Chain A
């Protein structure tokens, strides 16, 4: 089949756009493993910068991972029941609550952080602990967990499922753990990945809340850009990239669950 010029024009534009995005990533990643960026690749490749970043910022990286896990635990434990209540009892109060819950996403992280600092800044040991940052992260990521779980829950006719389970003798906790939770799992998983990704990458709010001892991965990144060689900053980017990419890919895969499975198994016809 012959394709006309519009096809090639579009193809060219698409390739250009992709390059526009991909080339800086490759450049940055390469810079992280180049001996001397200013001399270019001819100066040779090395893992030295990566080790150096690890020596300097291992603590920040580990803190970020720890924060992400803690944030996930809190948002799951609080967010799933919260989503359940929002879907099960839709009234003015719960709708208002949902709006308030979403506010931290709309408000700039800096403003949110400032509010936290004004309110709790006086509690010295609390202010300087990682828990302070965790609270910021939970506030920021909670709506993503709740929204994602609530979307799945409202699609599954929870009321009737629960009534069915109750008629078989199942009390609230049994219903919640064996019927509601398993069926809401796609939403919980999608929300969890979102929470972890956002928590690891969060900068605005964390930058305001951090202390020299509670630096996270992105804060360390800013720090290294500002005060280190370009190679170290780039190596840092590379590490960040390696951490975050698998999460993003997993999120994509979860976004359309069971597509293949459903296509393979057509529902039976009535006899």
Chain B
């Protein structure tokens, strides 16, 4: 009975936050480090109230720098502006911004117990003792770590530590929750489990959240929208589906897992690959114009002539009967993955191609196979100089 009374302040928080997460805007922001390195090229970014935005990209792409700009751990160059709702926070220090942060290394205070860690922010804000204890209790219960309240940090497992870090970050009801690769230090199985928990926590709180990761799968699972970053610039912003199915550049296609690449040509509204000819209308996602001028894949420059880069995942090419085959390859390696087998095939492009088959399919290393393209699953980029450079730089 006591427990329900205790849980109430917590659930009230959930209610109030759900109705209005803070909207965050970064306008004309750039970041140059003291040594002259341009960490972030000029960009604008809006994060809607209550939205979970994932910053995705390889290390050194600037995703963490954006997070630190929003946190107030770094400041944008002159001219940039950051607002939380109506509040201009551009020059406000992190102490005043009311953000919650979760770090890859947890950053828990080793000199305090679990409960003291969660209470720290409330203590700093001089929240009265009774209310503080209640809120700490509610937080620990919500994260299912109430039985660990009196433990020291060095007695916790990695997963437990990350739960404490989350509880500590949301205990102050921050305007935005910032997560910097929070799951990277954990093993694969636990990562998936905690990812699901974080996802439902963020939905439940309705809090604006920004999540930095280099893991495409994590980004897909958590993000309402994903920002793919490349060398200090935003390469694409979109829903997980858009990023996955309609990448705007070879870099994005490759980064979100379309790891097979072939060289082709575009001739009279068709993709030509050796003897194979596929109408561009059948292709799942074709970008033959300059994506910077017209990001729309249905632009009329689709019929342009020239070279093309073809990207696809393991489902873009399938084994078929010899008489229906479009191209031939040779099996170099087979990995059995349980629900499927992944083949590494040579002889189709310059580099090897991976494709999936039924795990019971009888095949051996060295076999010749005949394949057909699945046009729906192909992504085609007309080769314009910019895209080529981007692809080479990877």
Interface residues of A (CB under 8 A from B): 156-157, 160-161, 163-171, 174, 178-179, 182-183, 185, 262, 265, 267-271
Contact = CB atoms under 8 A, between A and B. Distances in A.
Contact of A167 (B99, B152, B154, B190): B99
A269 B96 CA distance: 37
A267 B157 contact: yes
B111 A170 contact: no
A99 B96 CA distance: 38
A262 B121 contact: no
Contacts of B95: 166, 169-171
B156 A168 contact: no
Interface of B: 71, 73, 93-96, 98-101, 103, 105, 107-111, 120-121, 124-125, 152, 154-160, 168-169, 172, 178, 186-187, 190
Q: A166, A183, A269 — which one has the most chain B CB atoms within 10 A of its CB?
A: A166
Given A160-B107, A269-B157, 10 more contacts: A161-B107, A163-B103, A164-B101, A164-B103, A165-B120, A169-B98, A170-B95, A267-B155, A267-B157, A270-B158
Main secondary structure of the interface of B (DSSP, over half): mixed
Nearest to A168: B121
A182 B110 CA distance: 9
Contact of A169 (B71, B107, B121, B154): B121
A184 to B, nearest CB: 10
Contacts, number: 81
B103 A160 contact: yes
A268 B105 contact: no
Contacts of B111: 179, 182-183, 185
Contacts of B101: 163-164, 167
Contacts of B73: 163, 166
A270 B159 contact: yes
A265 B155 contact: yes
Nearest to B105: A160
A165 to B, nearest CB: 7
A269 B52 CA distance: 30
A270 B94 CA distance: 32
Contacts of B154: 262, 265, 267
